[in-house]
Each structure stands twice: as structure tokens, then as C-alpha cells.
């Protein structure tokens, strides 16, 4: 008992009265941060909507040039990784800290796999000269506004990949600490908050996937 | 409570810990971070002030002989960028807000002290980029960075400036998150929502706007930087992109940003007025909810910056109506301040003078805002000095007066010293007159048709411009004065004691300057704010 409360006090920052207050603060802080991220990406989605309404054909052409197979696999990877993150939070809440560590490593590795596959996509698009501002002279005779599609595509997926990379770093750190048994049923807010962030990364992609890979193919 | 005056209390936050600059640069104490911000903000205020001085000097003669047109553009851009993002936005929230929020709600610190310090470093980092852009030759786009000029034509250091603003934007996002969480989870026992001082409500509303608006600016500026670096983007008309889209995004942030500047000022003034007249605030809940209403409705009025920019007529009508609507909660506040003062015994000390100045100038600025919200009038007044005068009445007449009033009011708490009342009153009155001399002529200039952002103008406008510049020199003196006597009081001021104003509020129950974790014992609250007994 005294040992458990000693570790609790060690984790508690001086400004908080108790562990519950600290956990509540961390989680609320992350939700607010997620709200800012929604607006951050919201600008790009608004720009996408606005431009798509103006240039439906150019956007359909652009969407058709993306890699549906890789995009779908990436979607599956992120969904699976989010599931692992959620399981990790459940485990750590039940005190199974080392099991949570393994799940968090899995989540981080799936994040890396996502980044690798996206790199493959970028590489192929560079080969097809579809990178505006760097190498852009697409085959055929697409509408000039297709360039706007690819600008948005790179802005959205680029910022998203940056978030994935940050998430991988955070998850790896949590995984390492969890493997050492740093968390307990009374102290697991860092894992919970990291998982929340990872779900945000996932949810942004849930919007990116249909907008970039699917919608253009329906016409 | 007053017995704590005599009781030996823990070491205060100024002298605790190891001495020296290094302990300040690593501090997690919200009070010290507030002071770090105050130092940065004061520096940027005077940097922006130098640019303003150059502008006013140039406009003394119709030919504008002091500066070339290009230099003039850089001067007003520097003035705008520095004053908006490096002074006004962080001014009250990051200094007084940081210092007072935990004290007012009875907490030991903000929820995330390390993040709080990190925000300050972001602020400084953003400032370095902006100063870098200045040293390399400046930026000439205006603080609004309108496309396509900023992306395709300007050959100045737009990217550096944009990165600076991007970074400082994250400083304000993180401060906002910190404050919201602090208000939600760190309140003392018994401090329920409707016992919060109005300054805390103001900070809460402000933080909501910071958190929800600033990311939009961040992404929009990133797109500007990408467009400049790579030459392609969604705002580029050559590709079929739309520069107007930039304006929508920009004002989606920058109009709510106006409320980031004025809401904390309203909070400060509510504290100052109740203490100066020693009364309960009139309509506490209305005051609290009207600030929340301003924060919410403020998100829906951005199009009034674009009445003549090419948005649809119907959008213009809707934005016009909504802009009138946002005036309602603002008017509620003015009426309630006046009702609080009505038939009261007013103590005209310096903070009260600043507060009264605020109410008057804010009213004038707000009412002329209604002129501009009316589409028919706005067509004539857009981009004239009328607009310049309007927003300076709100931001300088409003926010800066409230900021200085707050600094004076809480100076004894922050430093443990009293400032000299005589010079302070003189500076407050001088500021009120200097301000009106500077900016009232600009209403007339704008009404007569003088456009903003020109470095030269026709002969007939000269006398009003000379009047404005003369007023600006008075204003400059009144800004320099507090720097002198407040600085003097740091060493020579009389010790303040716990509660020199006999004010209510938890911050006045702890010693001045407060101990490191604010309260010797955790406070318990059992009544609402402003329980003044005459």
C-alpha cells in the first residue's frame, strides 16, 4: 500500500492535488489539442471542397492517378494500429503493463509501415512527374487545375505523414516505458493521451482516404 | 485572513530558488513566466512603436518625404505584424493571465507548467524569425499577407515573417489549451463556475478563440510559405486557384483574433471597475455569458472584412447582420459597467482612470464598427483611415488602456511595491487625450476619403495628419512614463502589503509578492466574487 502510494506521489506533478485531477487534466488537454488539429486540417479540407466544386473533372482525373491499392492497404494498417492502441490502453488500465508495451510497439511498427508505403507512393508519383513545384509534367493532357489537386494531395498527406511520424516517436517512447513497467492501473494517463493522439491521426486519414483515393474513381 | 500579513510566510516567488537569470529561463512558475512574457511584450511594443513613429513622421508632409513608398510599406507591415502577434495577442492573456489565473481560482499553478514555459520559448523563437525578416530588409505585404501579392509579387522576406507568425501562433494555441484545462480542473474547493471572477471568464472565452481560430491561421500561412517556396498552390490564380479563398481563411482567424485582444481587456476592466466603485458587478451572469457569446458569434462575422473583395452579395448581407448581432453582447457589457458605476462613489485612482478611458474609447470604437458593419456605408469607408481609426480605438484605446490599467492594479501584487499614484494618474489622463488627438482625426480623414497604406496624400488632408502626428507624440510620452515610474517603484516603491486596494478575490488574500505555490494554505471559497461592502 505504502509503496503504491509512493509511486503515485512520484508521478504527481506539484500543481495537482491528486492523481485523478492530473489524469483529467492530461486527457482534457489532449482533447483540446485534437480540436486544434481538426481545424488545422480543416483548412486543407475546406480548400479541397472549394476547389473540387470548381474543378470536378480535374479532381476526378487527379484522383484516378493515385494508387488505390497502396492507399487501401495504408488505410487498413492505420485502422489496425488504432485498434492495437485501444487494446494497449485497456491492458494498461487493467495493470497488464508489459502486454500493453508489446501492443504499443506493434502500433508504432504499423505506423512505420504506413510511412514506408506512403514513401513508395510518393516515389512512384515522382517517377510519373506528378509533384507540383518540383517535377510536374504529367502524361496525357490533363486539365491545368489537376495541379491544384496534387498541391492539396501533397499538403494533406504531407502534414498527415508528419503527424504519423510524431506519433511513432511518441508511441515508441510509451512502449519503452511500458515494457519497463512504468505504468499501473493508477497511473496510465501518458498512454491514454498518446493513444488519443494516434486515433486523431487515424481519423484524419479516414477522411483523406475517400477524398483522395475513392471519390475520383466513381465518375 | 489579514492575520497572514503578520505570520511568517514561505519565500516569495521572486527571491525563491537560486538567484540569477538561468533560474528564470528554466522556471515553471506561472508568475515568473508571466513576467518573462511581460519583458518580451514590452520590447515588441516599443519596436512596433518605433515603426508607428516613423509612419506618423512620414505623414506630416503630403509628399511623404521621410521614406520611399517601399520603405513605408515595410514600416506599416512591421508595425502591424509586431503589434498584432507579438504584442496585442499575448499582451493581457500571457502576462496578467498567466500571473493571475491560478491565483484567482486558488490553484498552485496552471495545469501544464512546462508547456507554459515552452509557450514562452515559442513566442521568443517566433519573435526571432520576425526580427530576422526585419534585419534582412523587411516585409512589405502588410500584416494581412494578402495573396497574390504575398505569394507571387512581393520580393521581400515573406517566408521568414510567416514562419515567425506560425511559431508564435503555436505559443498562443498552447497557452489557450493550458488556460482552458486550468479553469476546468484546477479550481479551489468551492470555486464553482459562477463564483469565478470575470477576468477568469474572459480568459476562458479568449482561450477558446485561441484554440479554435489559431490553427486555421497556422495552416493558411503554411500554404503561403509552400506557395512561395514551390511556386504552386491553391491561392494561385494562374492555376485556377483563388486568392479570395486566402482572405476567407485569413479572416476566419483574424476576426476572432480581434476578440482575443479585446475579451481579456473586458475582463480586466470588470475587475478594475468593481474595485474602484466598491460594488458588486451589475449583472454578473450576463457579463459572463456575454463574453462567451462574443467568443462564439465572433467566429461567424469574418466576411465583413470582405464586403468589397468579391464575395457574393448575399454572403455580404448575412455577414453584415451577424456583425450587428455581435455588437449586442458587447453593448451588454458597456451598459453593465455603466450600471455598476451608476450613483456609486468612484475612487479615481490610476487603474480606474484607465478603466474609464477604456469604456469611453471602446464605445466609440464599437459604434464606428457598426458603421463599418453596414454594407452600404462600408463600400465608401473600406480601406480608408476610418477603418484604421476604428480598429485602433478598439485595440489601442481598448486593449492597451486595459492592459496598462491591469498592470497598475496588480503591480503591488506582482512586485510587492506600490507605484507612485500621481505620475500614474497623470500618464493615464495624458494617454486618453493623446490617443484621441492621434486617432480621432483619422476618422475624419477616412470619412473625407483618405485611403490607408499610402505614403503620400493630397494637400487638403495635411492639417488632420499633422494633428494626428502631434497627438502621437503625446501618446508616445504617455507610454514612456509608466516605464519610468514603474521601474522606479521596483526599488523605491513603498511595500504593498497583502491587499492595498482592499479588493475581493483570492489573489488579494495571499502575500505580495505571492509565495512560490501561491497560497500558504489551500483556499476554500464560500461566496461569489465582488462581495464589496461599502
CA distance B280 to B371: 33
Q: How many CB atoms neighbour CB A186 within 10 A?
A: 15
Distance from CA of B394 to the nearest CA of A (A): 27
Instruction: Judge whether residue B5 has pLDDT over 60.
Output: no
Distance from CA of B168 to the nearest CA of A (A): 15
Structure confidence by residue, pLDDT tens digits, B127-143: 999 999 999 999 999 99
Distance from CA of B197 to the nearest CA of A (A): 21
Show Cβ contacts of residue B290 under 8 Å, excluding neighbours closer than 6 positions.
B329, B330, B332, B333
Q: Give the helix/strand (H/E) hosting B70.
A: helix B69-81
What's the average model confidence in pLDDT over B231-246? 87
State the pLDDT at residue B534.
65
Contacts of B216 in chain A (CB under 8 A): 39-40, 42-43
Helix, strand, coil percent content, chain A, rounded in steps of 5: 80, 5, 15
Angle at B407 between CA B401 and CA B411, to 5 degrees: 155
Which of A39, A58, A156 should we substitute to test contact with B (largest number of B Cβ atoms within 10 Å)?
A39
Cβ-defined contact of A14 to B212 (cutoff 8 Å): no
Is the interface score ipTM higher than 0.85? yes
B2-509 fold: Cytochrome C Oxidase; Chain A (1.20.210)
Cβ-defined contact of B219 to A40 (cutoff 8 Å): yes
Cβ-defined contact of B111 to A136 (cutoff 8 Å): no
Instruction: Judge whether residue B115 has pLDDT over 80.
Output: yes
State the pLDDT at residue B1.
39
Instruction: Judge whether residue B3 has pLDDT over 60.
Output: no
Domains in chain A, start-ordered, CATH in brackets? 33-218 (1.20.120.80)
> For chain B, what is the mean pLDDT?
94
State the pLDDT at residue A7.
52
CA distance B394 to B380: 21
Quickly state the pLDDT bin for B19 (edges 50, 70, 90).
Answer: confident
Query: Could you tell me if A42 lies within 8 Å of chain B, comparing CB atoms?
Result: yes
Closest chain A CA to residue B215:
A40
> For chain A, what is the mean pLDDT?
92
Alpha helices in A55-67 (DSSP H): 56-64
What's the average model confidence in pLDDT over A94-123? 96
Q: Minimal CA–CA distance to A187: which of A67, A38, A7?
A: A7
B interface with A, Cβ–Cβ < 8 A, is 102, 107-113, 173, 176-178, 180-181, 184-186, 211-216, 218-220, 222-223, 226, 229-234, 239-242, 245, 249, 517, 522
Contacts of B222 in chain A (CB under 8 A): 155, 159
State the pLDDT at residue A6.
52
CA distance B504 to B517: 20
What's the average model confidence in pLDDT over B417-425? 97
Cβ-defined contact of A43 to B181 (cutoff 8 Å): no
Contacts of B240 in chain A (CB under 8 A): 54-55, 58, 144-145, 148
CA distance B469 to A138: 57
Alpha helices in B374-461 (DSSP H): 375-381, 385-392, 401-415, 421-448
State the pLDDT at residue A91.
95
Q: Minimal CA–CA distance to B258: which of B198, B217, B314?
A: B217
CA distance A34 to A83: 18
Structure confidence by residue, pLDDT tens digits, B363-380: 999 999 999 999 999 999
Q: How many CB atoms neighbour CB A57 within 10 A?
A: 13
Cβ-defined contact of A42 to B216 (cutoff 8 Å): yes
Instruction: Judge whether residue A4 has pLDDT over 70.
Output: no
Cβ-defined contact of A47 to B234 (cutoff 8 Å): yes
State the pLDDT at residue B7.
45
Instruction: Judge whether residue B238 has pLDDT over 90.
Output: no
Instruction: Judge whether residue B446 has pLDDT over 50.
Output: yes
Q: For the ranges A133-147, B73-87, B212-226, B396-410, which has the lowest average pLDDT?
A: A133-147
State the pLDDT at residue A2.
44
Instruction: Judge whether residue B4 has pLDDT over 90.
Output: no
Q: Minimal CA–CA distance to B126: which of B87, B184, B181?
A: B87
Structure confidence by residue, pLDDT tens digits, B461-485: 999 999 999 999 999 999 999 999 9
Torsion of CA B96, B99, B105, B109, to 10 degrees: 150
Q: How many CB atoms neighbour CB B133 within 10 A?
A: 24
Cβ-defined contact of A151 to B178 (cutoff 8 Å): no
Query: Could you tell me if A50 lies within 8 Å of chain B, comparing CB atoms?
Result: yes
Distance from CA of B58 to the nearest CA of A (A): 39
State the pLDDT at residue B396.
94
The partner residue sitting opposite B249, judged by closest CB among A33, A43, A54, is: A43
Structure confidence by residue, pLDDT tens digits, A140-155: 888 888 999 999 999 9
Query: Could you tell me if A53 lies within 8 Å of chain B, comparing CB atoms?
Result: no
Cβ-defined contact of A155 to B111 (cutoff 8 Å): no
The partner residue sitting opposite A28, judged by closest CB among B173, B181, B226, is: B181
Instruction: Judge whether residue B99 has pLDDT over 80.
Output: yes
Structure confidence by residue, pLDDT tens digits, B276-332: 999 999 999 999 999 999 999 999 999 999 999 989 999 999 999 999 999 999 999
Cβ-defined contact of A43 to B219 (cutoff 8 Å): yes
What's the average model confidence in pLDDT over B75-94? 97
Closest chain A CA to residue B207:
A32
Amino acid at each position: 500500500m505504502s509503496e503504491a502510494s509512493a509511486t503515485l506521489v512520484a508521478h504527481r506533478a506539484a500543481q495537482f492535488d491528486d492523481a485523478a485531477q492530473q489524469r483529467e487534466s492530461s486527457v482534457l488537454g489532449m482533447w483540446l489539442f485534437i480540436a486544434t488539429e481538426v481545424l488545422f486540417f480543416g483548412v486543407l479540407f475546406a480548400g479541397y471542397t472549394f476547389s473540387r466544386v470548381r474543378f470536378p473533372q480535374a479532381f476526378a482525373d487527379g484522383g484516378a492517378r493515385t494508387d488505390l491499392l497502396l492507399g487501401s492497404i495504408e488505410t487498413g494498417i492505420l485502422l489496425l494500429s488504432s485498434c492495437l492502441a485501444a487494446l494497449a490502453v485497456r491492458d494498461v488500465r487493467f495493470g497488464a503493463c508489459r502486454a500493453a508495451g508489446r501492443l504499443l510497439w506493434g502500433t508504432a511498427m504499423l505506423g512505420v509501415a504506413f510511412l514506408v508505403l506512403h514513401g513508395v507512393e510518393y516515389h512512384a508519383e515522382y517517377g510519373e512527374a506528378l509533384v507540383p513545384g518540383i517535377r510536374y509534367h504529367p502524361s496525357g493532357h490533363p486539365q491545368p487545375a489537376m495541379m491544384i489537386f496534387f498541391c492539396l494531395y501533397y499538403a494533406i498527406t504531407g502534414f498527415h505523414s508528419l503527424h504519423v511520424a510524431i506519433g511513432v516517436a511518441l508511441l515508441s517512447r510509451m512502449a519503452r516505458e511500458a515494457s519497463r513497467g512504468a505504468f499501473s492501473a493508477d497511473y496510465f494517463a501518458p498512454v491514454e493521451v498518446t493513444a488519443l493522439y494516434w486515433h486523431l491521426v487515424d481519423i484524419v486519414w479516414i477522411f483523406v482516404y475517400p477524398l483522395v483515393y475513392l471519390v475520383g474513381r466513381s465518375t | 485572513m489579514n492575520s497572514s500579513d503578520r505570520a511568517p510566510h514561505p519565500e516569495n516567488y521572486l527571491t525563491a530558488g537560486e538567484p540569477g537569470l538561468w533560474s528564470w529561463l528554466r522556471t515553471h512558475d506561472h508568475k515568473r513566466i508571466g513576467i518573462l512574457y511581460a519583458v518580451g511584450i514590452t520590447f515588441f511594443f516599443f519596436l512596433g512603436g518605433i515603426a508607428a513613429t516613423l509612419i506618423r513622421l512620414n505623414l506630416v508632409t503630403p509628399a511623404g518625404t521621410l521614406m520611399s513608398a517601399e520603405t513605408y510599406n515595410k514600416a506599416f507591415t512591421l508595425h502591424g505584424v509586431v503589434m498584432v502577434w507579438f504584442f496585442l495577442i499575448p499582451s493581457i492573456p500571457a502576462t496578467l493571465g498567466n500571473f493571475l489565473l491560478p491565483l484567482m481560482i486558488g490553484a498552485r499553478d496552471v495545469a501544464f507548467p512546462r508547456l507554459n514555459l515552452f509557450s514562452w520559448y515559442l513566442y521568443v523563437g517566433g519573435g526571432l524569425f520576425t526580427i530576422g525578416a526585419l534585419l534582412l530588409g523587411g516585409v512589405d505585404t502588410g500584416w494581412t499577407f494578402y495573396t497574390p501579392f504575398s505569394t507571387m509579387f512581393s520580393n521581400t522576406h515573406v517566408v521568414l515573417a510567416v514562419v515567425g507568425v506560425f511559431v508564435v501562433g503555436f505559443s498562443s494555441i498552447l497557452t489557450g489549451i493550458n488556460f482552458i484545462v486550468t479553469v476546468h480542473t484546477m479550481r479551489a474547493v468551492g470555486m464553482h463556475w459562477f463564483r469565478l471572477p470575470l477576468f477568469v471568464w474572459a480568459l476562458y472565452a479568449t482561450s477558446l478563440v485561441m484554440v479554435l481560430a489559431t490553427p486555421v491561421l497556422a495552416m493558411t500561412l503554411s500554404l503561403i510559405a509552400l506557395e512561395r517556396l514551390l511556386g504552386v498552390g491553391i491561392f494561385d490564380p494562374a492555376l485556377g486557384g483563388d486568392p479570395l479563398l486566402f482572405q476567407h481563411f485569413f479572416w476566419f482567424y483574424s476576426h476572432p483574433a480581434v476578440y482575443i485582444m479585446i475579451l481579456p481587456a473586458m475582463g480586466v476592466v470588470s475587475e478594475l471597475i468593481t474595485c474602484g466603485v466598491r460594488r458588486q458587478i451589475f449583472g454578473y451572469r450576463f457579463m459572463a455569458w456575454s463574453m462567451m457569446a462574443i467568443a462564439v458569434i465572433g467566429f461567424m462575422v469574418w466576411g465583413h472584412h470582405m464586403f468589397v473583395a468579391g464575395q457574393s452579395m448575399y454572403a455580404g448581407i448575412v455577414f453584415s447582420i451577424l456583425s450587428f448581432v455581435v455588437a449586442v453582447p458587447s453593448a451588454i457589457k458597456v451598459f453593465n459597467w455603466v450600471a455598476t458605476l451608476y450613483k456609486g462613489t468612484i475612487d479615481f485612482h490610476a487603474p480606474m482612470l484607465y478603466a474609464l478611458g477604456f469604456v469611453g474609447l471602446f464605445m466609440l470604437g464599437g459604434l464606428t464598427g457598426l458603421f463599418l458593419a453596414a454594407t452600404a456605408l462600408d463600400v465608401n469607408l473600406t480601406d480608408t483611415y476610418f477603418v484604421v481609426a476604428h480598429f485602433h480605438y478598439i485595440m489601442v484605446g481598448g486593449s492597451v488602456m486595459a492592459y496598462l490599467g491591469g498592470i497598475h492594479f496588480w503591480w503591488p501584487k506582482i512586485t510587492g511595491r506600490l507605484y507612485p499614484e500621481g505620475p500614474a494618474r497623470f500618464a493615464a489622463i495624458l494617454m486618453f487625450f493623446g490617443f484621441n488627438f492621434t486617432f480621432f482625426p483619422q476618422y475624419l480623414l477616412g470619412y473625407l476619403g483618405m485611403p490607408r497604406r499610402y505614403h503620400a496624400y493630397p494637400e487638403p488632408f495635411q492639417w488632420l495628419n499633422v494633428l494626428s502626428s502631434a497627438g502621437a507624440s503625446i501618446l508616445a510620452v504617455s507610454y514612456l512614463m509608466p516605464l519610468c515610474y514603474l521601474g522606479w517603484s521596483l526599488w523605491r516603491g513603498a511595500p504593498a502589503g497583502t491587499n492595498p486596494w482592499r479588493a475581493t478575490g483570492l489573489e488579494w488574500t495571499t502575500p505580495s509578492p505571492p509565495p512560490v505555490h501561491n497560497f500558504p494554505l489551500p483556499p476554500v471559497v464560500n461566496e461569489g466574487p465582488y462581495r464589496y461592502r461599502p
